[in-house]
Structure 1
Amino acid sequence: MFPAVTSLTGGLGLFLLGMHLISEGLQKAAAREVQQILAKVTSNRVYGMLTGIIVTILLQTSAVTTVLLVSLVNAGLMSLSQALGVILGAAIGSTFTAQLVALRLSDYSLWALVLGLLPYLFSKRFRWKHLGEALVGFGLIFYGAALMGEAAVPLRSSSGFISLINHLSAQPWLMVVISTMFTALIQASAATVVVAMALASQGGLTLPGALAMVLGANLGTTATALLCSLPLSRAAKRVALAHFIFKLGGVLIFLPFLPFYTCLVRITSLDVARQVANGHTLFNIINMLIFLPFTPWIGKLTERLLPDIKEEKLARYLDPSALEVPEIAFTNVMRELMRMAEIIKKEMFTRVMLPLAEREIEVLAKLKEVDSVLDYLYQAIAKYLVRIPEENLTEEQLILKIKLLYIANDLEHVGDVLVEMAHQWRKIETSGLEFSREGQIELQEMFQKVKDNFNAAIEAFVANDEIAAAQIVRRHPEILRLEKDLRCSHFKRLQQENRLSLETTSVHMELINQFLRLNFHNVSIAQAVMGII
């Protein structure tokens, strides 16, 4: 028994390592393309389902596809309804691994290992290294599957093992629960299915027992996305919950009809291992046909189970599971920076320079609250960027990392400047005075120009438009000239002994200083877009 258990656990370990290498290698080699494919999925459920199949075949794991979907929905790049069809397709694509193992390609596993090592060790290009890593993974899963198959031979002669398996096979609900927990623990449904194939092919497990394991494997694979969604937004959690509902619904439908399901699987092949693999595929195809028409209602159900809550201080887009895939991680940071900019535009710019008659009560307190959100997001972004591993980054990505940190810092400082402006306005509010009519117009004119520059800087950042960014830098001398003109105009009113100008002069001049500070940060953002860091 000891050599058999050793080979079984060792084979499982190699299989899991192989799955990890395949997933990591293919994600890194094609992350940008996969992300673009997923992000362009339309509301057509059938198209989304087909996309899910293709992407999961490329990534070799539905768990990773679902985690990517969680990230995209969390980042606002995909709606919940779009993601649901992809989830059902991903489940079908995940059966490709078991089908490959059923082809018994173990004779070629070591060749795949050697051929993958060559680019992995010697290639100077990251993409070839990642593809080599994936090929090494394929070699390991085939070799690991072969070891598990050999380990199952002596197990069928063990009376204790056979008694346990027979007991579990007689209680398929229990087999499903154990299989679900095992899959959730190892986070790879394909590994559980391959174990079932190995045991069934050597007579150590009946076909109904193996299919019960398959059902548990499909349910257990939802644990990965559920765990990844915990620190993310409500929308991301709904994707993971919908994935769980699809799988749980399928298991509850199939389990009472396990004898019929077994008969259906038996007619697909004479080979037992192939039957188990086909059972895995059939479950997910039939499950897709059952649930695909009902995806809009499933989406509404998840919204009722997880209603929206106020999440202002939550970093919505910084998905920790994407840190190993730099392309996705950087996209997440960009989305969070765009969110910071939107908060500044909608919550701060619209409030800070209103005339006294139109100002909200306690506007300073409200702006301080918004600024605390910006401070929190800046810290979260900085920590997230630091956690992106640098060993696999290209030179361009290393520069982008620094660039994004610069922009995050400037946005956080913009919030500080706007709070300081509110402090100055507070002096006007408590004094009961107003700016002179001419002074009010001049201040609004300069503020509008600075605000326009901020909007232009953010648009240049979003579009990565260096030409537009250069125009913002070139406009800075115009702001400096306007500042001189406004000071001169204000001094003339002081010479004319304009009472309002005299009594508000310190605030007037300080606001002009703050406008200059704002525009310095606009220019700094534009320079970061241009690569001047």
Structure 2
Amino acid sequence: MKHLLNLLAAVALLVWGTHLVRTGILRVFGANLRQVLARSVGRNRVNAALAGVGVTALLQSSTATALIVAAFVGQGLITLPLALAVMLGADVGTSLVTVIFSFDLSWLSPLLIFSGVVLFISRPSTNVGRFGRVLIGLGLMLLALRLISEATQVMVQSPVVRALLASINSDLLLEITTGAVLALLSYSSLAIVLLTATLAASGIVPVDMALGLVLGANLGSGLLGVLTTSRSAVEVRHVPLGNLLFKCIGVALAAPCIGLWLTHLRPHLGPTVSTVVLFHLTLNLAMAVLFLGLVHPIARAATRWLPKPERGPAGNRPHHLDPSALGTPSLAISCAAREALHQADVVETMLLGILTVIRTNDLRLAEDLRKLDDTVDELYSAIKYYLTKISREALGEEESRRWTDIISFTINMEQIGDTIERILIDIEDKKIRKGRSFSEAGMAEICELHARLVDNLRLGMSVFLNGSVRDAQKLLEEKARFRDLEHAYAATHLSRLSGNTVQSIETSSLHIDLISDLKRINSHICSIAYPILESAGALAPSRLRSDVLAKDGVTS
């Protein structure tokens, strides 16, 4: 029992080390890895596959690569066939890492763990500290492999263990199933292949059984991607489904070749460990070569088996907040930003509809627009909840600032939606139901303010998306102009009242409230500019950096 517990603890340590390396690399290089993939996959399938090899060699997890690439497809950044080419390369990358770890590198373990702990403790919240986590993970993986080897040398003598392994070794399908289940449980096919190679080298697992377990681990990594993205959008789920199809075909073709591998190639491969890991590498290399030309048919099959649902009334619900992206903080931030823009699109629809309601007195349209405020509120809550699930500790300085910007942006959009709802209620109660209308001059003023407001909202969305300092400064300048117009139009409205214009008198309260509410909306829009200017050093705390900002600071 003691030796079994030692073995289980060593396996757990191997899985944990793999997890530390994967999460550490994502935290340090997450944004750069996304940029590498985004630049590479846009060219051709070969470059996409090579990008998959490189990124996965760093992440040590084809599943992590699958989640990143699947999110890209869901966002429309790359096509499904190119994403599948990346996944073929990702499997090769995992195999290369397995080959490297198959060498006796146990002497590196103490150095890596010591260095990693020093870096992590001394600078825990920096990229240096996060890289220390990577070193700790690598050291733990090497240590775990040595512990597994030592534990199995004792267990191999047990008659019970031999009988259990003999029962599994009698059925190739059972071996494949066992390998797949182990990969699912450990969340890492890499860890299972390394474990299998170590067990085979110790003699506790026969070589032919080890190769069957390797096939199962390969299949399990494909199942893992499908299960991880099961609650994501359909577009996201196409990538792991297509990758699983490749793996199923590859395993079906490779299973009958195990005997040929052992008969003709094993005598030339040296140690048992080399036989196992090189089989894994050869399998994935062969799949990459054979299937790279089949990415388009497999992509069509995946989309046919998992068709996109028709957009119904729920089309305004969150559809960019991919839960599978939460493991990659930089990617999750991007998903939240896209959903925030979706929220702004709904707000723009509400804002555009105000003028139509004023002109046509359409109560049905007013009601529909007011219902959209519920959608804006739901999107705000969904984005806020999604962002709270992103580990702030895992975010770099830039990503942390972006996190704050998204929260601020969504709050402003939610408040704009509430203000528009109040405007629509006032128009219904004070204008439409009482049969009143604005004067021609008053209507022209409202149209002018409304047009500027729509332009400013679109400019604000651009500032949020691109972070342009020049556009942010322009947005604040528009705030000053809008305020001046609001004051001027309030004065002209009072002049019309003094002239006893009937329409102006009847709609006076509504007119004053309306231009005041439009100004309030504009203030929320212009608030988008402040974080951009502040982070760029173009906004002093007192807002007195320029004449425009000085004027704004005095009156706000």
TM-score (norm 1): 0.91
**Is residue 2:364 matched to residue 1:362?**
yes
In structure 2, the residue matched to 1:385 is 387
Question: Matched residues in 1 for 2:188 and 2:13: separation?
Answer: 13
The aligned counterpart of 1:530 is 533
Aligned to 1:510: 513
Cα distance change on mapping 1:364 and 1:208 into 2, 3 Å: farther
Corresponding residue number in structure 2 for 1:213: 213
1:277: which partner in 2?
A: 277
Paired residue for 1:416?
418
Q: Determine the structure 1 residue equivalent to 2:200.
A: 200
Measured after TM superposition, the shift of residue 521 of structure 1 is 0.5
Match of 1:173 in 2: 173
- In 1, the alpha carbon distance for the partners of 2:15 and 2:481 equals 62
How far the C-alpha of 1:434 sits from its partner, in A, is 4.3
Partner residue, 1:30: 29
Task: Give the gaps of 5 or more residues in structure 1.
Answer: none
Alignment of 1:350 with 2:335, yes or no, is: no
Hey, what does 1:372 align to over in structure 2?
A: 374
Deviation at 1:327, TM superposition (A): 3.0
1:370 alignment partner AA: L
Give the 5 Å matches for 1:83-98. Answer: 83-98=83-98
Letter in 1 for 2:214: V
Task: Verify the 8 A CA contact 2:27 2:395 in the aligned structure 1.
Answer: no
Letter in 1 for 2:373: D
Q: Which runs of 5+ in 2 are unaligned?
A: 542-556
Task: Measure the CA separation in 1 of the matches of 2:531 and 2:365.
Answer: 32
Task: Give the 3 Å change call, closer, same or farther, for CA 498–304 of structure 1 in structure 2.
Answer: farther
CA 1:110–1:386 in 2, change beyond 3 Å: closer, same or farther? same
Residues 452 and 313 (structure 1), Cα distance of their counterparts in 2 relative to 1, 3 Å cut: closer
Mapped contact 1:43–1:81 kept (Cα < 8 A): no
SS in 1 for 2:370: helix
Q: Aligned-pair distance for 1:60?
A: 1.3
Q: For the structure 1 residues 307 and 367, does the alpha-carbon distance in structure 2 shift closer, same or farther, using more than 3 Å as the test?
A: farther
Identity of aligned residues (%): 26
Partner Cα separation in structure 1 for residue 79 and residue 435 of structure 2 = 49
Contact 2:463 2:528 in 1 (8 A): no
Alpha-carbon spacing, 1:130–1:233, altered in 2? closer, same or farther (3 Å): same
CA drift of 1:209 comes to 1.3
Q: 1:18-417 to 2 correspondence within 5 Å? A: 18-40=17-39, 41-42=41-42, 44-123=44-123, 126-263=126-263, 266=266, 269-309=269-309, 310=311, 312=315, 314-323=317-326, 325-345=328-348, 347-354=349-356, 362-393=364-395, 397-417=399-419
Q: In structure 2, give the amino acid aligned to 1:374.
A: V
Q: 2:484 aligns with which of 481, 484, 489?
A: 481
Deviation at 1:509, TM superposition (A): 3.0
- The verdict on how the C-alpha distance between 1:377 and 1:163 changes in structure 2, with shifts beyond 3 A counting, is same
Match of 1:9 in 2: 8
| Residue 501 of structure 1: how far off its partner (Å) | 3.8
- In terms of mean alpha carbon deviation, does 15-24 or 251-260 score higher? 251-260
Aligned residues: 531
Partners of 1:12 and 1:447 lie apart in 2 by 65
Q: Residue 553 of structure 2 corresponds to which residue in structure 1? A: none
Q: Relative to structure 1, is the Cα distance of residues 33 and 397 closer, same or farther in structure 2, using a 3 angstrom cutoff?
A: closer
User: CA 1:481–1:323 in 2, change beyond 3 Å: closer, same or farther?
Assistant: same
Q: Distance in 2 between matches of 1:373 and 1:246?
A: 40
Q: Does 175-184 or 114-123 show the bigger shift?
A: 114-123
- CA apart distance, 1:101: 2.3
CA contact (8 A) 1:351 1:359 kept: no
What is the CA–CA distance in structure 2 between the aligned matches of 1:362 and 1:130, rounded to whole Å? 56
Between 142-151 and 388-397, report the one with greater CA deviation: 388-397
Are the aligned partners of 1:110 and 1:139 in contact in 2 as well (CA < 8 Å)? yes
* Aligned counterparts of 1:344 and 1:269: Cα–Cα separation in 2: 65
Secondary structure at the residue paired with 2:319?
Answer: coil
1:21 partner SS: helix
**2:82–2:295 CA contact under 8 A, matched in 1:** no
Q: 1:470 and 1:93, CA in 2 relative to 1: closer, same or farther beyond 3 A?
A: same
Return the alpha-carbon distance in structure 1 between the equivalents of residues 50 and 374 of structure 2.
44
Shift of 1:458: 1.6
Q: Which amino acid aligns with 1:450?
A: L
**Residue-by-residue CA offset, 1:471-503 (whole Å, 9 max, x unaligned):** 222222211221122233334444455444444
For the Cα contact (< 8 Å) 2:232–2:324, is it kept in 1? no
Deviation, structure 1 residue 330: 2.7
Q: 1:426 to 1:291 in 2, by over 3 A?
A: farther
- Alpha-carbon spacing, 1:377–1:255, altered in 2? closer, same or farther (3 Å): same
**Do the aligned partners of 2:232 and 2:323 also contact (CA within 8 Å) in 1?**
no
TM-score computed with the length of structure 2 as normaliser: 0.88
